[in-house]
Amino acid sequence: MINVTPAKKEPSEDKAYRLILEAIRNTYQPGEFLLEKNIVTSLKMSRTPVAMALNRLVTEGILNKVPKKGCYIPNLNRDDATAAFQARKLLEGAAAKDAAKFSSSKELKDLSKFLDKGEKAIEDKNYRLFAETDEKFHHRLVKLSKNEYIYRTWRLVYFRTNIYSRFFDNLYYNTETIVSGKILKMKSPQQHRTILQALIDKDPIKCKSRVVEHIEHALQMIFNK
């Protein structure tokens, strides 16, 4: 007889957290309040896991909370963006150095598949899919550092920078944009490839440098400098 272990059920709080995070990424606007009663209704969940998930997001800095009013997505501004991207450079750069040392050939082949999928999405003008594969690439890259503490901290910073890219970077959803009369083309696919090559070459310094350049370019596109 074959014993089949039943799939582990996702805890209610984790499910609420995941779904609210997805809504913040794709639906809500900066400064907008997330009303607990509305979320309970839309997710068809009880109040307790939703409240716990919201408090968790506040603790992580993804949401702010106003007593007796609720939680809201922090507003966006230049100083906050600069600080968030600076933190991301430090964390992702450090992770990239370790990833170049510790990643296996199989792990790099899997990473390359994300790039293939993203490039195909651009060819098909499916920019939403490209954004999804771009996010998965960076998550996988940082995880290759084999440092869970870096990953946990980076994940929160990355989420914040990703909100800026979503709202202000035209290249996040197009292959080119016009800034000061000049046509700027999307560089992410090429930059991703140079990062991957540095990983394959087992070159920690170059890998960190390529990652930092990539993040600096993302910030530049947000402010159209």
Q: Does 82 share its domain with 160?
A: yes
Determine the average pLDDT of the residues in 149-155. Answer: 95
Q: Are residues 207 and 110 in the same domain?
A: yes
Give SS3 for 185: strand
Q: How far is CA 42 from CA 18, 22, 36, 39, 75, in A?
A: 14, 13, 10, 5, 24
The whole-number pLDDT of residue 188 equals 80
Query: Which domain covers residue 202, as residue numbers?
Result: 78-223
The answer as to whether 26 is a domain residue is yes
The predicted-structure confidence for 73-115, as pLDDT tens digits, reads as follows 988 889 999 999 999 999 999 999 999 999 999 999 999 998 9
Backbone angles phi, psi at 100, to 5 degrees: -65, -30
**pLDDT the model gives residue 177:** 46
Average pLDDT, rounded, for the chain: 86
Percent of the chain with pLDDT over 90: 59
User: What is the SS3 assignment for 31?
Assistant: coil
Asked whether residue 130 falls in the same domain as residue 177, the answer is yes
One-letter amino acid of 60: E
**pLDDT (tens digit, 9 = 90+) per residue, 13-37?**
999 999 998 888 878 888 999 999 9
Same structural domain for residues 60 and 128? no
| pLDDT at position 7 | 52
- For residues 187-215, give the mean pLDDT: 95
Q: Kind and range of the H or E element at 47?
A: helix 47-59
Instruction: Write the CATH number for 151.
Output: 1.20.120.530
Quote the pTM value.
0.78
